[in-house]
Structure 1
Amino acid sequence: MSSQTSRAEIGNLQPSDGLAIRLMPAVFVWLWSTGFIGAKYGLPYAEPFTLLLYRMLVTLLLLALVAMWVKSKWPSVTAAFHTSITGVLVHGLYLGGVFYAIQDGMPAGLVSLIVGLQPLVTALAAVVVLRETVVWKQWLGLVLGLVGVSLVLLEKMGGTEQMTSFPLWTLAWALIALFAISIGTVYQKRYCQGVELVPGAFIQYCAAGALFAVGAFAFETRVVHWDTQLILAMGWLVLGLSVGAILLLMQLIRRGAASQVASLFYLVPPVTALEAYILFDERLGVLAMCGGLLSVIGVALVVVKKAQ
């Protein structure tokens, strides 16, 4: 981050803010997990790209006001281009894949489990692209996290009713989301380090919004049934996810190695499963709970720093 960064930049935590920094990962995991729940509440009233387009437009309006308030420094043309690529990956293809998977009948918890495999993909990409060093404990953590997510996935797909509740080809949407967020995380770390948070997020949402607009006008009817549930879901998706969680994610990427930041996503499936239990009475068995515990242990191993 440039030394000329605005002193009022959102999310620019100082070293003295020790407690706030320690709480950042936990807050991010909770915020991110609610995105799957918000999608399930909102999609009955609008098609995926249409819903996401409205979400981006409202978010852009809010971020424009914030950017003017904090007097952010806007990036160069080259930096803006790289930031746009990140936006297409991290927001456009990721959210599009998640929302379409849920729209086509895949349970929100199951989508969360699939994209929860992101840390392994990101760690491999970070080693190849960023030349990051991953110690054996971190590799062990990544493997444990993968096994943990697989156990939850195994239980989720174990029943015949769950297997027939959605077409298997919807897995393609979830896989698009998985690889998009993984590659986007590494790309963000590699090319967008000098871009301030607020203008960076604004540019990313512009790029994602353009993708959603093309998708909505090319493939959808763009009909929206405005309902209180949709308005509430939209409000949370904008304020809690598009503003709060994404700015926090960008800050976390800047503060840690890409593979360490990505490991936080292993915690999202267990948290989402708990929320699904509270809101939709989706119950977890012993196998899934053991998988969630393994995921937590895996995260702890991945984020641990090398001994100095």
Structure 2
Amino acid sequence: MSARDILLALFVVVIWGLNFVAIKWGVEEMPPLLLTALRYLAAAFPAVLLVKPPKVALPVLLVYGLAVGVLQFGLLFSAVHLGMPAGLSSLVMQVQAFFTIALAVLFLGERPGVPQLAGAVIAFAGIGVIALERLEGAALVPLLMTVGAAFFWGVSNIATKKAGKVDMFAFVVWGSLVPPLPLLALSLLLEGPDAMMAGLTHMSLRTVGSIAFLGYCATLMGYGLWSYLLGRYPASVVAPFSLLVPIVGMASAVAILGEPLSLIEVLGSGLVFAGLLLNVFGPRMLRRLAPAQ
């Protein structure tokens, strides 16, 4: 990769890491489902007026929009609202890689390698360690919701694969049109009109900034630059940069939000990160060792 593109990849990593701080700030003042809806409204407009629709089947676009917007981020924002630490959620969300592998086996006929299976076992063992400290319902539920959000991230990845070779920036922009209406309906049903009205009428500048950052920076800029990098380089070169996202997420949560990390959470996080490392670099190591055998 060129020096400029390495800097672009690191820029995306910082944006996606800070994304979790913005989520935390947003859900402190606004109902999480309403906040998620506003995120996607910001991502969709005015971009849909400037970007041509992607050449993709409508069902694929609908599945992507519902999976990533309504289910993935609806669950994640709600989990953070219920007490899931922003930094820890940035790490737990990365188990999407293993859900993606499992779903690819079921729906795409792909076969995972030994390093990927071993990485999944190690990473989910880490989730289990983290869960040990959250066995009380009030703390365990947000963790399980975050794992569920990671699962639906995997679903959206499969939808993206089904889309084939399309303009991914256009795919993200037009996919952002799908979540707002279902999310607004869910917010009205689950959070109530009073909470929605209070959230809209008492928005602080920090909340407005959070929505703008989530919609324009984390969604459009982040995915736009990431798609550009994937278009120029093999996925094996670009993908490892995503391992830095939870590092930035956890560091920024500690530095900006003052979130503590217990020893058990550190140990569990270490296992999750080790599993992710094995998933990304394990196949490459096996290929290098193969000629020597």
Range class of TM-score, shorter chain: 0.7 to 0.9
Tell me the residue number matched to 1:102: 80
Size of the aligned set, in residue pairs, is 276
TM norm structure 2: 0.77
- Deviation of 1:23 after TM superposition, in Å, equals 5.6
In structure 1, what residue type is equivalent to 2:32? P
| Among 220, 233, 249, the residue aligned to 1:272 | 249
- Deviation of 1:274 after TM superposition, in Å, equals 1.6
Q: Name the CA shift for 1:106/1:297 in 2 (closer, same or farther; >3 Å).
A: closer
SS at match of 1:132: coil
- Deviation of 1:167 after TM superposition, in Å, equals 5.8
Tell me the residue number matched to 1:122: 100
- Gaps in structure 2 of 5+ consecutive residues: 289-293
| Among 180, 187, 199, the residue aligned to 1:209 | 180
Tell me the residue number matched to 1:182: 154
How far, CA to CA, are the matches of 1:18 and 1:236 in structure 2?
Answer: 27
How far, CA to CA, are the matches of 2:104 and 2:228 in structure 1?
Answer: 18
- From the two aligned structures, give the one with the greater helix fraction: 2
- Whether contact under 8 Å (1:117, 1:178) holds in the other structure is yes
Is 2:60 the partner of 1:82? yes
CA deviation vs aligned residue, 1:202-228 (integer Å, no higher than 9, x gap) = 221011122223223333322221212
CA deviation vs aligned residue, 1:266-304 (integer Å, no higher than 9, x gap) = 654443222221122223355544544444443333223
- Deviation of 1:108 after TM superposition, in Å, equals 2.6
Q: Name the CA shift for 1:142/1:252 in 2 (closer, same or farther; >3 Å).
A: farther
- Deviation of 1:92 after TM superposition, in Å, equals 1.9
In structure 1, what residue type is equivalent to 2:102? L
| Among 258, 270, 280, the residue aligned to 1:281 | 258
| Among 36, 39, 43, the residue aligned to 1:59 | 43
- Whether contact under 8 Å (2:21, 2:257) holds in the other structure is no
Tell me the residue number matched to 1:256: 235
1:1-308 counterparts in 2 under 5 A?
Answer: 18-19=2-3, 22=6, 26-64=10-48, 66-67=50-51, 72=52, 74-76=53-55, 79-151=57-129, 153-154=130-131, 157=134, 163=136, 166=138, 168-171=140-143, 173-189=145-161, 191-219=162-190, 220-221=192-193, 222-223=196-197, 224=200, 225-248=202-225, 255-256=234-235, 268-304=245-281, 305-306=283-284, 307=287
Q: Name the CA shift for 1:272/1:27 in 2 (closer, same or farther; >3 Å).
A: same
How far, CA to CA, are the matches of 2:148 and 2:123 in structure 1?
Answer: 20
Q: Name the CA shift for 1:139/1:175 in 2 (closer, same or farther; >3 Å).
A: closer
How far, CA to CA, are the matches of 1:271 and 1:155 in structure 2?
Answer: 25
In structure 2, what residue type is equivalent to 1:60? A
Q: Name the CA shift for 1:83/1:24 in 2 (closer, same or farther; >3 Å).
A: farther
- Whether contact under 8 Å (2:123, 2:273) holds in the other structure is yes
SS at match of 1:44: helix
CA deviation vs aligned residue, 1:245-284 (integer Å, no higher than 9, x gap) = 2334556777538xx95x8766544432222211222233
- Gaps in structure 1 of 5+ consecutive residues: 1-16
CA deviation vs aligned residue, 1:14-49 (integer Å, no higher than 9, x gap) = xxx544555666544433332221111012322122
How far, CA to CA, are the matches of 2:188 and 2:64 in structure 1?
Answer: 23
TM norm structure 1: 0.74
- Whether contact under 8 Å (1:31, 1:245) holds in the other structure is yes
Q: Name the CA shift for 1:300/1:113 in 2 (closer, same or farther; >3 Å).
A: closer
Pairwise CA RMSD? 3.3
How far, CA to CA, are the matches of 1:229 and 1:202 in structure 2?
Answer: 24
How far, CA to CA, are the matches of 2:127 and 2:4 in structure 1?
Answer: 28
Q: Percent same amino acid among aligned pairs?
A: 21
- Whether contact under 8 Å (1:266, 1:295) holds in the other structure is no
SS at match of 2:260: coil
